[in-house]
Amino acid sequence: MPVLEEVRVHGRAWEELAPQYGVTNPDPPWKIDLETTCDMLAADSCVKSYDEIEPGSCVLPALERRAEEDDLSETIYADVPFPERQLLALAHSMLKRGLFTEEELARQIELVGQKLKSA
């Protein structure tokens, strides 16, 4: 996935960006959105045992996402720090399922970059 590979290779971690913007909070501002997105995609699979989840009742069951995240974190995104690694793994899983395209993701990344540069 070229867009994610570009971010993996050339992206900057919050740990190095925060001082540039005068921020002392160790958690990136997008971390709560990341966690919420994971929960929303998982729907009720967060509170039910795996055998109680009805097929199709959620976009990305929690256990399935975590397994994919673990696999991607140990392979493709092993050199990326946390929580950026979690963000890339989630985007990877969402792209794989067709929830958005690489082109749509690239446009959103560009828009965020423009907002940061204009601030």
Residues 30-74 have pLDDT tens digits of 999 999 999 888 877 666 666 776 776 677 888 889 999 999 999
User: For residue 47, which phi and psi values (nearest 5 degrees)?
Assistant: -115, 0
Model pLDDT, residue 50: 67
Residues 6+ apart with CB under 8 A from 27: 14, 83
Model pLDDT, residue 75: 97
DSSP class of residue 45 equals: G
Task: Name the range with the highest mean pLDDT among 54-63, 73-82, 108-117.
Answer: 73-82
Residues 6+ apart with CB under 8 A from 30: 87
pTM greater than 0.75: yes
Residues 85-110 have pLDDT tens digits of 999 999 999 999 999 999 999 999 99
Please give the angle made by the CA atoms of 74, 80 and 83, to the nearest 5 degrees. Answer: 95
CA 59, CA 11: separation in Å to the nearest integer? 27
Contact 15, 81 (CB under 8 A): yes
